[in-house]
A and B are shown apart, each in its own frame.
Chain A
Amino acid sequence: MSLTTLAKPVVRRKKIQEVKWHVIEDFCKGCTFCIEFCPVNALEESQKLNVKGVHPPKLKSEDACIGCGLCERICPEFAIYLEKVNTNEKEEEKK
């Protein structure tokens, strides 16, 4: 794990949309753009090694992602995607 990712704490900000964050681990080439440019520093390098021999990113905690979609857009490898969670359904389930 690099020192730069350790130095940045997660910024708490209001969520833009409710999403589930996914990474296709074997697509990652380890450029770390997603980790560097995440506006809330929600990502870090994981301990795992993928087929290309790099550490793919992972979420620091489940609720850290605010769903802005920047990592999905800036990933040159198409390795990150956000799955939209329908909040209305969730609320109905609670009821």
Chain B
Amino acid sequence: MSEIVSGFEYLIDNFDEFLTLLQQHIALVLVSELAAIAVAIPASILAVRNARARRVVLGVGNVAQTIPTLAIIALVFPLIGIGFWPSVIGLWAYAILPIITNTISGIENVSDDTVEAARGMGMTDWEVLRKIQVPLALPVIFAGIRTSIVLNVGTAYLAFFIGGGGLGLWVVGGIQLYNMPQVLAGAIPGALLAIGADLVFARIQRRLGGESDVNNPTAGAA
């Protein structure tokens, strides 16, 4: 317990620096996440409407999902460079995947009967997508964004290694110097940030009519 208290003291003593790091951290997450959403959802819709695009997107997505986050961050360095924007690109690349897989499965899991009923009423494919499939898939899409953003908060710690800044500075620096109060002052807020983001998105997801977490097994049949 005394460690946690000393971590808290360190945070108070260096509050200005903490705010700067937190800002950097949140900026990394928000920019990369918004960019990921902007790319992932149109890509998913394209994939749902085109069988070949679907195969490519899901194939690449499934393989990419198994590639470790550190690997992606580390590869950004030789490929793009270091700093804030290269870090954002690394985080973005990793944040896209959960959103794509969820959006595709959300849209495809809308029952065929519902889609057929909508078609029977004279809706075009585009109208079916916009008025029926996407609204019904919204909870699942949000679940994907939730997974993505929580992972992103964690991966953003690694951005420090390629000069992206963020809370990683304190944790990584603290570990190197064996300065435990500094490590905790960097680790605990990030953990709370991730948990907080998870809770907020869980609430949104539930309000949209999503299922509870308890009965949602992690997939693996693909």
Same complex origin of A and B: no
